[in-house]
Amino acid sequence: MLNRVVLVGRLTRDPELRFTPSGVAVANFTLAVNRTFTNQQGEREADFINCIVWRKQAENVANYLKKGSLAGVDGRVQTRSYDNNEGKRVFVTEIVAENVQFLEPKNSQRVNQGVGASNETYGGAPADGYGHSNQGGTPNANGTRSAGYANDPFSQEGSIDISDDDLPF
Amino acid sequence: MLNRVVLVGRLTRDPELRFTPSGVAVANFTLAVNRTFTNQQGEREADFINCIVWRKQAENVANYLKKGSLAGVDGRVQTRSYDNNEGKRVFVTEIVAENVQFLEPKNSQRVNQGVGASNETYGGAPADGYGHSNQGGTPNANGTRSAGYANDPFSQEGSIDISDDDLPF
Amino acid sequence: MLNRVVLVGRLTRDPELRFTPSGVAVANFTLAVNRTFTNQQGEREADFINCIVWRKQAENVANYLKKGSLAGVDGRVQTRSYDNNEGKRVFVTEIVAENVQFLEPKNSQRVNQGVGASNETYGGAPADGYGHSNQGGTPNANGTRSAGYANDPFSQEGSIDISDDDLPF
Amino acid sequence: MLNRVVLVGRLTRDPELRFTPSGVAVANFTLAVNRTFTNQQGEREADFINCIVWRKQAENVANYLKKGSLAGVDGRVQTRSYDNNEGKRVFVTEIVAENVQFLEPKNSQRVNQGVGASNETYGGAPADGYGHSNQGGTPNANGTRSAGYANDPFSQEGSIDISDDDLPF
DNA sequence: TTTT
DNA sequence: TTTT
């Protein structure tokens, strides 16, 4: 059924790049989209919209976008649920970006540094329903733009709770 | 900034019509939007997307859509937050419908009955972060044409008070 | 760059199914999309929007949609130009449908009959800049369930001026 | 019915600002939208999409966008027809922009000079099916706030007559 | 928990 | 908490 979203906004912080157990890249980011109208106090509010993007585009996002970057997203609305650490079901609505357009002028774009550019929350399962992490070893030691430890044999240590079934293709 | 969503799906239950203190109609409904692709088990999943619509369109939605109705929505993604009854901040992402299209064939459409069709949760603040309601007293005292009858047990007598040019078809 | 269109409307006539020389299916149809507002005479006008769809979806469109069918389209705006029979350059704007949703209730859907369901303008090049037809050999030998005159020995007369380069993938 | 378009692209030339006989501003511009995929020769083509925008947004477009500007458009597909100077009916498909977003970085934006910035084709009906113009005499005699200065050589003296809250940023 |  |  028809399900289409188009957004233009700015990243509220650096994107987070992770990998599924089978090595597929996923990036998460939040877009601040300023409203075109003002509220009753005359202020222009914003919507803070969570986005997720897969594979090569995920790596591009991680490498070329950072906090404050202007970006366009073409995708679809997705809902999912997971049980949080208190055993409560949490419902999530987010945008799965199928196409991300970088809208920063060329000269303002810098390739992100490997270390720290995509900051995995080490140690302990993140509370967002994704379990991907990049535990142990030398994370992204290879540096450069694309994601080395996708091939890291140690990446499976500890638990992971995302399986390939979660991939949207 | 650009923020646009278009959906086609089916209502998971009857829409809920409420009113702000100043008498503005708001309807909430959830659209089940079937995915166009299947997961790795070969099943076609759905996204359950919360929508909100205001004013005249809210009344039309409450009057002409019900559980199972096929509808299209043109709107924007909105995020907001509120403190739940445990004092915890909850973040909500929903679609503000600016235009709702009824996609049921004509003959399958019936005007909803006033009682029960749009069920305001009386007594106590709803847990969804909206406080609007139109409880007791002189509903819609502020006047205008909007729909006091939503909560009015007598509203079915005689004709309904939506004029023909309010009808979206 | 972002380029996204979503439409819901009714086919103004039966879709036309053709094939490129290499056997790729293409269907053309026009969607009448009623405006949600009225003009100064109080009339509700419509936009008549040309759409094109490729491959399996083209065959589905040809088989399951006909004049009057309600359909949704998710796609992109495309422009192209060609020289008409008076040697004048003509510019065309149309929607390339990437996803077509059938919105007719199940019971009202009938599989189109092969012959006549999708009516190729026989004899002479069509004036729309597509010359596709299904020339030579055993057209559509690969065949399967698709559209009637795909198997029409006469459809090959005249030239074809679409090459595979025109395919959007 | 649902009819929604979102585009991001660059103006192929300066926008053209005109006025209807009753003084309503209209701007036309063409957006070059680069495709996200390449053709079989490996080239990335573009679509050249005609847009039209009304009233205050038309004036903003004329004042703040020029050839090469990056802009986003949220609108709908419109078709219309007119008889050209050879008495032939011409069909036009264009995008009516309901919201235009300026995507150029702040420092790269300059207010267009009045003269030449928005170039009305004086003398003789334009061949595009719009007859509006605002020729000579008392421009914008009907009054209101709309932009006579578009054609007014003196309009640059002192301050520009767009108030700050008209600015889209 | 938010961007310019 | 989900629709056909």
Q: Which residues contact D169 (CB under 8 A, 6 or more apart)?
A: D102, D106
Amino acid letter at C158?
G
Nearest CA in chain C to A72: C2
Which pLDDT value is given to residue A152?
Answer: 28
C17 vs C53: CA distance, rounded Å: 9
| Banded pLDDT at D101 (limits 50, 70, 90) | very high
- Choose the closest CB to B2 out of D1, D2, D6: D6
Q: C138 with C103: CB under 8 angstroms?
A: no
CB A137 within 8 A of CB A154: yes
Q: Chain D within 8 Å of C165 (Cβ-Cβ)?
A: yes
Which positions of chain B have pLDDT values less than 70? 109-169
- Nearest C-alpha neighbor of A158 from the set A135, A138, A127, A141: A135
- Determine if residue D18 is left, alpha or beta; phi over 0 gives left, psi from -120 to 50 gives alpha, anything else beta: beta
Task: Kindly tell me if the per-residue pLDDT of D118 is higher than 90.
Answer: no
Which residues sit close to strand F, CB under 7 Å?
A 79, 81, 89, 91; B 9-13, 30, 32, 34, 46, 48, 50, 67-68; C 106
Which residue type occupies B112? Answer: N
C-alpha closest to that of D112 among D61, D36, D168: D61
Per-residue pLDDT of A73-130, as tens digits, reads: 999 999 999 999 889 899 999 999 999 999 998 777 656 655 433 433 322 345 566 6
Burial B2-35 (b: 16+ CB within 10 A, else e): bbbbbbbbbbeebbbbbbeeebbbbbbbbbbbeb
Q: Chain A residue closest to B37 (CA)?
A: A169
Please give the average per-residue pLDDT across C130-153, as a whole number.
36
Residue range(s) occupied by CATH 2.40.50.140 in chain D: 5-102
Question: What pairs with residue B16 in β-bridges?
Answer: B28
Are residues D105 and A101, on separate chains, in Cβ contact within 8 Å?
no
Give the residue nearest to nucleotide E4 (CA to C1'). A68
Q: Do A74 and C4 touch (CB under 8 A)?
A: yes
pLDDT tens sequence across C97-131: 999 999 988 767 556 655 433 333 322 345 566 55
Quick one: average pLDDT of C27-56? Answer: 97
CATH code for residues D5-102: 2.40.50.140
Question: Do B103 and C6 lie within an 8 Å CB cutoff?
Answer: no
Q: Report the distance separating Cα A100 and Cα A79, nearest Å.
A: 20
Is the CB of B57 inside 8 Å of chain D's CB atoms? no
Tell me, yes or no, if D2 comes closer than 8 A to chain B by beta carbon: yes
**D138 CA vs E3 C1’ separation (Å):** 45
Percent of chain B with pLDDT over 70: 63
